[in-house]
Amino acid sequence: MHDPVLKPLSSDLPADPARRRLLAASAAGAALALPGAAALAQPREGVQVGPRSSFESLVPASEIEAEAARGYRDMLAQARARHLLAEPVHPQLRRLVYISTRLRPFAGMWNERAVGWQWEVNLIGSPQVNAFCMPGGKIAFFWGILTKLKLTDDEVAMVMGHEMTHALREHGRAQIGKEVATQGTISLLAGLFGWGMAGRQMAGVGGRLLTLKYSRDDETEADLIGLELAARAGYDPRSALSLWQKMAAASKGAPPAFLSDHPSSPDRLRTIAANIPRVQGLYDRAPKPDVRYGPPMTGGNSGKG
């Protein structure tokens, strides 16, 4: 049976079955994300990453999340107007929502604000090989990344965990904070967030958050934390290697949009491979998904789930 063609969104996304799990798991793991002697005294099982950027403190998290939400809504409105926004019943959107509900209970371990985020997942009927998660938990996948790479559920979880990490570790907020520090003007910050007459400048920030290019350190961090999120959710961490091998193959000729921000390289694969043993035990003990989907079986804006 064929998936329905992507159509404008006509109702809210399906109810989130992971809300209670999110609160419970986040409360249990919050101490792991907190800096200080208490967290450092006990070695944790999983990946090891450095501290978050000090530049993020220059920009209020709540303002960045609000602007991200506005930019996300604008993007969805444009997709809806072009009949490219998947309805909640679309099998591939249901697949993405299901995978997200398995990863999200562990988000609070890396950012306590994530417990209160209004998470959203949408599927855009574009051939681009791309996906992202904006500050505040606004996730989007493009049709092309599912069809052209024929992603398995485990590989989707690796992509989603990677993108979620950019939001959880507030890489976009840190970048904007660095710009503020570099320009050396408090008045710019005041203007960006509507604290003065220059508030109109903030209008483009939501859109900019859609197009940020992250540093190599940010990308490595997203690889590693995403690997752990997916493993804790019951998705095989070894699939991160097959994912990036597919990315490397796709980069031949005209690289997809995703690879302009997430370049594949032997170093990347080596780093991921070296960290799989750190999360293997988490995966082995994790409850496994009781629902499995799979990539669309046809191209275009429809396919088999």
Share of residues in the chain with pLDDT > 90 (%):
53
- Amino acid 43: pLDDT: 74
Residue found by looking up tokens 């992507």 in the block: 6
Asked, for residue 9, whether it belongs to a domain, the answer is no
Residue 167 three-state SS = helix
The span from the CA of 152 to the CA of 150, in Å, is: 7
Mean pLDDT (the chain, rounded): 79
The DSSP element (H or E) to which 132 belongs, if any, is strand 131-134
Asked, for residue 13, whether it belongs to a domain, the answer is no
Give the pLDDT band (50/70/90) at residue 8: very low
Question: In the structure encoding, which two tokens stand for residue 67, read together?
Answer: 């602007």
- pLDDT at residue 72 is higher than 90: yes
Asked, for residue 226, whether it belongs to a domain, the answer is no
Asked, for residue 39, whether it belongs to a domain, the answer is no
Stretch among 28-37, 42-51, 182-191 having the lowest mean pLDDT: 28-37
Give the pLDDT band (50/70/90) at residue 13: very low
pLDDT tens for 153-165 read 999 999 999 999 9
Give the pLDDT band (50/70/90) at residue 253: low
Asked, for residue 71, whether it belongs to a domain, the answer is yes
> HSE on the CB side for 25, CA within 13 Å?
21
Residue found by looking up tokens 């967030």 in the block: 193
Number of domains within the chain: 1
Asked, for residue 67, whether it belongs to a domain, the answer is yes
Read off the pLDDT of each residue in 282-296 and give the average, rounded to a whole number: 96
Stretch among 2-11, 127-136, 138-147, 265-274 having the lowest mean pLDDT: 2-11
- pLDDT at residue 139 is higher than 70: yes
The span from the CA of 106 to the CA of 115, in Å, is: 9
Read off the pLDDT of each residue in 193-213 and give the average, rounded to a whole number: 49
Stretch among 31-45, 167-181, 269-283 having the lowest mean pLDDT: 31-45
Stretch among 9-18, 35-44, 125-134, 153-162 having the lowest mean pLDDT: 9-18
- pLDDT at residue 35 is higher than 50: no
Beta strand pairing call for 138-142 and 120-124: parallel
The structure's pTM equals: 0.77
Asked, for residue 296, whether it belongs to a domain, the answer is no
Asked, for residue 270, whether it belongs to a domain, the answer is no
Q: Which residues are marked as active site?
A: 163
Which one-letter amino acid corresponds to residue 244? W
- Amino acid 304: pLDDT: 36
Provide the domain limits for residue 93. 19-28+49-213
Query: Bigger pLDDT: 144 or 212?
Result: 144
Read off the pLDDT of each residue in 288-298 and give the average, rounded to a whole number: 90
Read off the pLDDT of each residue in 96-115 and give the average, rounded to a whole number: 97
Give the pLDDT band (50/70/90) at residue 189: low
> HSE on the CB side for 246, CA within 13 Å?
19
Read off the pLDDT of each residue in 36-52 and give the average, rounded to a whole number: 69
